[in-house]
Amino acid sequence: GNEMPEITEYVDEHVQNEEKSDMFGVAKGKNVIFISLESVQNFVINNKVNGEEITPFLNDLIDESYYFENFYHQTEQGKTSDSEFLIENSLYPLSRGAVFFTHGQNEYHASPEILGENGYFTSVFHANNKSFWNRDVMYDSLGYDKFFDVDSYEVTEDNSIGWGLKDKPFFEQSMKYLQSQQQPFYSKFITLTNHYPFDLEEEDASIDKYDSNSKTLNQYFPTVRYTDEAVEQFFKDLKESGLYENSVIVLMGDHYGISEFHNKAMGQYLGKEITPYEHIQLQRVPLFIHIPGEEGGVISEIAGQIDVKPTILSLLGIETDDDITFGTDLFAKDRKEFIALRNGDYISDDYIYTKGQCYDRKTGELLESEPTGLEQKQEDTAEGLCEPIKEKVDKELSYSDKLIYGDLFRFYDFNDEEDGQDEQNDQSDQVE
């Protein structure tokens, strides 16, 4: 625990906001329904294929939500599980392997645990084997009350494809469990149909495939549309059940669906060459925060999955002054100046740094390249422009790694007073 003082000092000084945002507590006491949209990247939003809208429901939802158009996924090899780790801990996943597997039994201070301490019932809905990504173990460590895994669903040959239960029956079958939960609840839904290799039956496809040399990209569009329709139906069901009015609904893409192996086809679709800069821009995934009764708006500031935990807790009016997070409330005014990707690349207001090159974020212009000769580093190159933030990025990633490798939260007392409260709450909401 020797590193703890240094890390908490860094977080206090460089991450946490002094002032609460104007949005603090606007959703106090409401349910949170978090929808993880498998492999949905934001290039499909407000875009078309063969003249057809790809995500008509999500496109309309922008008008009634806070929509973050420059929101980046920060996952690595742990894919969906890394995104879950990011959004609930506001720590970075690891650069290799999946932290869900390698550190599933660490001590954490995750949002499900914090929400449990604040009277929430917490659950996950996902129609896959419970041990996939070691979720059954990790969800205990994160403080979840209940995991509705594949065993909670009726899965037949007819209602499944690819990885399992299709998203439409998944949401349909989830409703009865959701309605029986104690309120307020925090429930996370993880969709599955829009997963590589994006297989979909003809009868479920509302739009045609794209036509390029990448079967993967071609098939991606109809499956994204299928998930869009599944979410639309889910919203209808939520409204019918009466849960909608009293809930905040957050929708987020977990990570990219189309890898760089498909850059040629992607370039054909987008009508531009996929440069290293464009590749980073393709790591944007949608984030919607939908609060019934609030108008919302499009937010262009850079944001990332690391920011989800502090943002949700702030909306719910939960104090997090003593928390250790590397993200910030997205509605706060003075936010940290960069979004770090797990490989050390980063996005700042002015720059995108990738592969040792420094780009202008807004124009994509290559500002400077790192000299190729090893010993030739010069002050006035890319390093000059991008280097100061790059140093901070590396430092922050290493602090996050230290917390995980050393299981350092064992040595940190998050809040004594809160602990006293937990014990009382725990007795009242044991729902299985």
With CB under 5 to 8 Å by kind, the binding choice for 76 among ligand GP9, Mn ion, none is none
Catalytic residue (choose from 55, 75, 80, 328):
80
Taking CB under 5 A as the binding criterion, the range among 37-45, 70-78, 310-318, 416-424 that sits at the site for Mn ion is: 37-45
List, in sequence order, the alpha helices (H) in 96-214.
99-102, 111-117, 135-142, 167-180
Residue 80 contacts ligand GP9 per CB under 6 A: yes
CB of 36 to ligand GP9, least distance (A): 8
With CB under 5 to 8 Å by kind, the binding choice for 132 among ligand GP9, Mn ion, none is ligand GP9
Residue 195 contacts ligand GP9 per CB under 6 A: yes
Taking CB under 6 A as the binding criterion, the range among 73-81, 234-242, 316-324, 358-366 that sits at the site for ligand GP9 is: 73-81
CB 189 within 8 A of CB 209: no
CB 170 within 8 A of CB 127: yes
Residue 80 contacts Mn ion per CB under 5 A: yes
Residue 283 contacts Mn ion per CB under 5 A: no
Residue 414 contacts ligand GP9 per CB under 6 A: no
Q: What are phi and psi of 358, to 5 degrees?
A: -115, 120
Residue 348 contacts Mn ion per CB under 5 A: no
Taking CB under 6 A as the binding criterion, the range among 76-84, 106-114, 169-177, 323-331 that sits at the site for ligand GP9 is: 76-84
Catalytic-residue membership of 80 = yes
- DSSP structure string for 168-191: HHHHHHHHHHHHHS-SSEEEEEE-
- Token pair recorded at residue 73: 């996924």
The neighbour count for residue 384, using CB atoms within 10 Å, is: 14
CB of 139 to ligand GP9, least distance (A): 12
Residue 254 contacts Mn ion per CB under 5 A: yes
Backbone CA torsion sign across 40, 43, 45, 51 = negative
Write the CA distances from 213 to 218, 219, 228, 264, integer angstroms: 8, 11, 25, 8
Residue 166 contacts ligand GP9 per CB under 6 A: no
CB 244 within 8 A of CB 235: yes
End-to-end CA distance of the chain: 35
The DSSP bridge partners found for residue 352 are 347, 359
User: What does the per-residue mask of binding to Mn ion show for 120-159, with x meaning CB under 5 A?
Assistant: ----------------------------------------
Residues that bind ligand GP9 (CB under 6 A): 79-81, 128, 132, 190, 192, 195
Residues that bind Mn ion (CB under 5 A): 38, 79-80, 254
User: Catalytic positions, please?
Assistant: 80
